[in-house]
């Protein structure tokens, strides 16, 4: 009788150990999931920040290029105006000279 009681106690103790192991496994899996989610969130934030930084840098570079090209365009327009002004003055002088001769 005592042996049967010891066997039943051992079975109950084994069931408790198995149940506790199951609970521990569930808790570990849940913690692993939370850790993974946290790491994923951090990675997404880092990725988003990298994207924002890259976009800001690209905008700065683009604006710098736009400013340089705008200035270059202004300089070229001014050079063309100066060249045209000189030719125009020469043409006007020629016309005035011919009108005065007639």
- What pLDDT, in 10s, does the model give residues 4-38? 888 898 899 999 999 999 999 999 999 999 999 99
Query: Residue 84 pLDDT more than 80?
Result: yes
| Residue in this structure with the two tokens 């988003």, named with its chain if needed | 48
pLDDT for res 79: 93
Specify the pTM.
0.56
Would you state the pLDDT for residue 100?
86
CA distances from 42 to 34, 37, 48 (A): 12, 9, 10
């Amino acid at each position: 009788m005592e042996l049967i009681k010891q066997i039943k106690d051992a079975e109950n103790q084994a069931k408790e150990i198995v149940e506790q192991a199951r609970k521990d496994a569930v808790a570990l899996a849940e913690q692993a999931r939370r850790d993974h989610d946290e790491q994923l969130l951090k990675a997404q934030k880092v990725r988003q920040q990298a994207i924002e930084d890259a976009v800001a840098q690209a905008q700065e570079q683009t604006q710098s290029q736009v400013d340089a090209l705008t200035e270059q365009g202004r300089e070229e327009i001014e050079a063309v105006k100066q060249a045209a002004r000189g030719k125009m003055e020469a043409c006007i002088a020629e016309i005035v000279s011919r009108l005065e001769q007639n």
